[in-house]
């Protein structure tokens, strides 16, 4: 029994060591629960600050499409609602209902929080530090490549499904046949 305890302790340390500092964040989920970003360390992760009442809100359509098309091959999309630009609904439940009713969002969404300035969520402080580029508006995107080996800042006006975005994460996805074979 003592050996198993040592094995589990060492395994736990290995798992913690495998999580890059940039992704070593757990954030509240929009509808409860927690989102541990470490679980996405081995895949491309598209982090997006979102808002419900913005001219760029229709980007939810492209984000959901990317998630459905490339999620089975490894792409992860996580939305981070923010009212930093005064275009977000008041509560997490309102945001969740809006995203579901209008865009059928199924990708994980964090609870509402700040994405810039002194009150920015720690994950956004780290993304800003890694890219030297803070969100200037809603729907700013950060593409974190596996192992946080590289972080690409993508401006609001660039659509999530733009060729330059897709081509940046495609090399890191599983081949289609391999992804289809997974249970």
Alpha helices for 30-121 (secondary structure H): 59-70, 92-103
Q: What is the DSSP track for 112-125?
A: S---SSTT--HHHH
- Among this protein's residues, is 54 annotated catalytic? yes
Sort residue 152 into left (φ over 0), alpha (ψ -120 to 50) or beta. beta
Helix (H) or strand (E) holding 4: helix 2-18
Please pick, among 19, 38, 54, 99, the residue that the annotation labels catalytic.
54
Among the listed residues 23, 31, 22, the one whose alpha carbon sits nearest the alpha carbon of residue 112: 31
User: Which are the catalytic amino acids?
Assistant: 54
């Amino acid at each position: 029994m003592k050996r198993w305890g040592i094995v589990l302790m060492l395994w736990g340390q290995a798992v913690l060591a495998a999580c890059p500092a940039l992704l070593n964040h757990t954030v509240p989920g929009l509808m409860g629960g927690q989102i541990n970003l470490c679980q996405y360390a081995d895949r491309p992760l598209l982090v997006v600050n979102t808002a419900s009442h913005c001219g760029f809100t229709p980007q939810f359509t492209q984000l959901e499409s990317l998630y459905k098309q490339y999620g089975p091959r490894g792409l992860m999309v996580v939305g981070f609602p923010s009212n930093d630009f005064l275009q977000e609904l008041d509560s997490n439940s309102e945001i969740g209902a809006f995203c579901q009713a209008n865009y059928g969002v199924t990708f994980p969404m964090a609870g509402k929080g700040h994405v810039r300035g002194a009150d920015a969520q720690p994950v956004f402080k780290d993304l800003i530090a890694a890219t030297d580029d803070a969100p200037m508006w809603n729907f700013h995107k950060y593409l974190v490549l596996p192992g946080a080996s590289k972080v690409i800042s993508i401006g609001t006006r660039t659509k999530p499904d733009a060729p330059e975005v897709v081509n940046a994460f495609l090399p890191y996805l599983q081949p289609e046949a391999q992804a289809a074979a997974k249970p």
